[in-house]
Structure 1
Amino acid sequence: MKRTTLSIALLSTVMLLTGCGEESNQTSNTATTQSVEKEPAQKACYDVGETTSFERKDVTGPRCQWRSEHNFIVYSEDLSKPEYPGTLPVKPGYAVRRAKEWPREDLSDASSYDKPRIQFWWNNVSSRDPLVNDYENGYKIWSVKIDGTDLRLVTDDMPSTASPQTFMMSRSPNNRYVAYAYSYGEPLIKAIFDLKTQQTIQLGSARTKPYLVWADDSSYIYFSDGFKRYKYTLATGIKEEVDVPLSENTVIVDGKLINAAGLGVGVYDAKTLKRLYTILPEKEFEDSVDIEKRIYRQIAISPNGKYVWGINSYRKVLINVEDKTWLAFSKEGDEKKVYDKVVNISNNGRETQVGAAIITIKHYGSDYRYELTGKGRQSWKVIQSGQNTITPVLYNADANDGRFLEIENDE
């Protein structure tokens, strides 16, 4: 009995010691494991157009910045090179798959208005995207600084099935109002969105191409509805029919209405609508060239009304409206690419911009004749999601002295 009792006692002691040792080792192992745990991998940005592809290209590191659960910015590679001193180091590209998570344009945010801006239509989620719904796939109006930064949602106050009219959208000179047109079934809606009150005013619904022209003090807008022209005064809400020359390239500046269309430019007194003068660069060819060939098929006008660009079947012209002069450029040879494609033109006539999904900016020399090859051109992809991005319209054009690019030695 004594020998058995002693054996049991020894066995209990060994088991107790062994258990303590195992507990100590477990604690030590746990501590070791915790000390070498890795941080969770960064959520990658990616090409939204390839969300269901096994070959999807992911982007991580500083180039990828998630702004919310569904939206991110992909920054470009370093673009700065010695021969491009005006090029910014990086450019942002936006993938917005939930518009309500993205900031809206805010008139009280002065930082949004230190550079010229463009506004455009964008349906930010394509029909192939797994996150698609009617709202995200519908067109909305967005804006961005001319350098590609500070993307903002302007308004989504239109039906998700609305089809935007690509030829017309206009921002008031005080930046508060955006006038636009879209079709929704049979009517062609013309409307004004007020960024301050977030309210929409419907101007008309008749068919035919709409024209939307703001007063220089933003107090009224001229617009077309069907075959009639109207003046709508914002303070009173009064709409009156008027006889006024309008086109998609008409501006009112410093008391003058400047209308660029057809064969040139007409300048009128904005109050009396009396014609002051016309500029007709193609008049010299009226006896030798058919009128259909002389008409400018594409036109752009600077927001200050000083410069008008036009292209017809045989040449391009840059008109100085104040001086009543113009420069002509051939569509062939060395000048083929000079002022070749223009949607927006700067207030000094020396910078041009095209595109919204892919923005391209060109800068020209002080003689306006030659692009400053090597430092005066930028092109980059701004939009990384959605299906269509259309109708870039320049506004806030006086900011940053009207410059699109930061160029040194600008002569």
Structure 2
Amino acid sequence: MKKILLLALLSITLMGCNDPESAAAEAAQLRAEQHPERTYVGEHNYYIMESSEHAEFGRKKDLKVMYQDFPRYFVEKAKEWPKEDLNDASSYDLPRFQFAWANSSSKDEYESGIKIWSMKTDGTDLRLVTDVTVELVNGIKNLTRSPNNRYVAWADLGGYKTVYDIKTGKVVELSIAMSPLSMLWSEDSRYLYFERARDLFSRWDSETGEVNKVDFDVRTTAVNFDGKRTTILDFGVLVVDANTNEEINWIGVDRSLSMDERSLDISSIDPEGHYAWGSNTSFGFFFDIEKGTVKQMVDDFVPAQILGKNAHYSALSKMTYVTIVDRVEDKVWSWRAFSHGAMSGEGILYNGLANNGLWFKEGK
């Protein structure tokens, strides 16, 4: 009888050793013991916390460099990484950055392809937005996100445009021929306006799937908010009624400047269309759109490729090194968010009104 019990116990023990879940748990515990500085996300991915770094800006702007810990991500297997979930409210308590990133140089077609990712403005909560991949040779030039966070749209280097529905997983190809890159969402997230060919513009209806012509220019550096469409053009900011397209206001830079000095080569607009930024190699221009004013600067300014609510925060659009500026308190943070991989195109801001537009939680 004792022999039978011993055999039974041995059998149970051996079964436990062959249990995949038990083996995985043991492997995870071993990794944690060997690398206590790492926080693993799946079997092959992890992040570590590292201090932000010194950041230099030109134009003689005196900014206080801030030092604090941010995540640095090591992602070998994107398939194991958590995807963005519209039902997870904790992901949307801060504004978020969205960007195109090839996380791996693996020969695996999925892992090496460019995919859309997102993270909070404080560097936390990295999420894979979609499994749809784009070949590195095509690249992603332009990204947008609908105001309700549901739809992601991108244009590759040839101008081909794609929309991904995070809620349903449905993919829509909008362009069947090469075309320019401009895209803009309606305030209610129903329509995506886009340039289908040079100076020819259309809108895609997310409810019906129909594509129809529109009779106004579409620019990516624009916002539909509070019934107005505010657009940064080559030499100023145009505000129109979003329903009638009638002009409400035009705020132009100094016309006495040369074309090169007036041109807004770098530009951005805040999520509500209240403030805008433009700059070139000679000048910076800050637009207070509600007041209808523009401030021209020669030195002592920080370019804003991404502009937050009320122009409180701004960021550079390259997400390899995240660089954030508090434009109210003249502070700057810069950190390396990713250990490897290749970025494609420019990062953008979405969910920009969360936390009253502040990019960090209070006390952090």
Q: What residue is the counterpart of 1:353 in the other structure?
A: 315
How far apart are residue 173 of structure 1 and its match? 0.4
Q: 1:314 aligns with which of 257, 273, 282?
A: 282
1: CA distance between counterparts of 2:137 and 2:87? 29
Q: What residue is the counterpart of 1:150 in the other structure?
A: 125
Q: Is the 8 A contact 1:250 1:258 kept in 2?
A: yes
- Please give the residue correspondences for 1:134-173 in structure 2 after superposition, counting only pairs within 5 Å: 134-161=109-136, 163-166=138-141, 168-173=142-147
Higher alpha-carbon deviation: 233-242 or 92-101: 233-242
Q: 1:222 aligns with which of 193, 197, 218?
A: 193
Deviations 1:150-193 (A, max 9, x none): 00001132444562332x2110000000111125xxx6321111
Q: Is the 8 A contact 2:312 2:358 kept in 1?
A: no
- Please give the residue correspondences for 1:144-223 in structure 2 after superposition, counting only pairs within 5 Å: 144-161=119-136, 163-166=138-141, 168-183=142-157, 188-223=159-194
Q: 1:294 aligns with which of 245, 262, 283?
A: 262
How far apart are residue 391 of structure 1 and its match? 1.5
| Cα gap change, 1:387 to 1:253, in 2 (>3 Å) | same
TM-score, with length taken from structure 1: 0.74
| Cα gap change, 1:78 to 1:43, in 2 (>3 Å) | farther
Deviations 1:70-117 (A, max 9, x none): 1111211499xxxx9996852111111111100100000000000000
Q: What residue is the counterpart of 1:401 in the other structure?
A: 356
Number of aligned residue pairs: 326
Q: Residue type matched to 1:384 in 2?
A: S
Q: Residue type matched to 1:298 in 2?
A: I
Can you give the 5+ residue segments of structure 2 that lack an aligned partner in the other structure? 1-26, 54-62
Q: Is the 8 A contact 1:222 1:232 kept in 2?
A: yes
1: CA distance between counterparts of 2:85 and 2:28? 36
Q: Is the 8 A contact 1:308 1:320 kept in 2?
A: yes
Q: Is the 8 A contact 1:120 1:141 kept in 2?
A: yes
Q: Is the 8 A contact 2:148 2:189 kept in 1?
A: yes
1: CA distance between counterparts of 2:320 and 2:52? 20
- Please give the residue correspondences for 1:264-343 in structure 2 after superposition, counting only pairs within 5 Å: 264-283=236-255, 285=256, 289-331=257-299, 335=300, 338-339=301-302, 341-343=303-305
Q: Is the 8 A contact 2:139 2:344 kept in 1?
A: no
SS in 1 for 2:154: strand
Higher alpha-carbon deviation: 236-245 or 92-101: 236-245
How far apart are residue 255 of structure 1 and its match? 0.8
Look at both structures and tell me which one has the larger radius of gyration over its CA atoms.
Answer: 1
2: CA distance between counterparts of 1:248 and 1:118? 16
Structure 1 moving runs of 4+ over 4 Å: 39-42, 84-89
Higher alpha-carbon deviation: 109-118 or 306-315: 306-315
How far apart are residue 272 of structure 1 and its match? 1.1
Q: What residue is the counterpart of 2:339 in the other structure?
A: 384
RMSD: 2.6
Q: Is the 8 A contact 1:138 1:162 kept in 2?
A: no
Can you give the 5+ residue segments of structure 1 that lack an aligned partner in the other structure? 1-38, 46-58, 366-370
1: CA distance between counterparts of 2:135 and 2:326? 38
SS in 2 for 1:282: coil
Q: 1:110 aligns with which of 76, 85, 89?
A: 89
Q: Residue type matched to 1:320 in 2?
A: D
2: CA distance between counterparts of 1:158 and 1:406? 33
TM-score, with length taken from structure 2: 0.83
2: CA distance between counterparts of 1:73 and 1:296? 38
2: CA distance between counterparts of 1:342 and 1:113? 23
Q: Residue type matched to 2:222 in 1?
A: T
